[in-house]
């Protein structure tokens, strides 16, 4: 409850609170993702604005899951006549996404553009199981 009260601090301007909602407050929001299938490829897109993907993001594959870890450090300074304001926003967050068993882990790729991390994993076509048939039993 304390984090919620701190987040809705009445000393913040309404514009600043709206900006925090849309930018994603580190304490209040995790990594937002969308997951879809394009043809035979699983595509996972994660919103990670304001980070350096080479230094601040780790992608790990486990048994049946993909884990995205990110760390954000941001410093904002406002200097006006007679006033100075500095705000630091930082934190680390993680998102674990279940993967289908058929995902080929060796072929997974990741790219980053305009604040969005995209992970692509080929999904092989399902092997058509032959229709069930009865096996006759013979007596010896």
DSSP 8-state symbol, 12: S
Torsion sign, CA atoms 18, 23, 27, 30: positive
Flag whether the pTM goes above 0.75: no
Set out the domains of the chain in order of their start, with CATH numbers: 1-30 (no CATH), 31-122 (2.60.40.790)
Residue 107: predicted pLDDT:
84
Per-block mean pLDDT, blocks of 10 residues, the chain (140 long):
49 58 49 91 91 90 89 76 75 87 83 94 70 77
Pairwise CA distance, residues 125 & 122, whole Å: 9
Torsion sign, CA atoms 100, 105, 109, 112: positive
Residue 133: predicted pLDDT:
78
Residue 17: predicted pLDDT:
57
């Amino acid at each position: 409850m304390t984090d919620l009260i701190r987040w809705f601090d009445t000393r913040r301007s309404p514009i600043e609170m709206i900006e925090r909602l849309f930018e994603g407050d580190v304490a209040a929001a995790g990594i937002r993702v969308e997951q879809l299938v394009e043809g035979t490829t699983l595509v996972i897109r994660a919103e990670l604005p304001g980070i350096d993907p080479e230094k601040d993001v780790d992608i790990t594959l486990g048994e049946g899951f993909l884990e995205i870890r990110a760390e954000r450090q941001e410093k904002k300074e406002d200097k006006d006549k007679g006033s100075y304001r500095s705000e630091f926003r930082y934190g680390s967050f993680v998102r674990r996404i279940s993967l289908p068993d058929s995902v080929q882990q060796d072929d997974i790729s990741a790219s980053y553009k305009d604040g969005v991390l995209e992970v692509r994993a080929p999904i092989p076509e399902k092997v058509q199981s032959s229709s069930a048939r009865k096996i006759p039993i013979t007596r010896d």
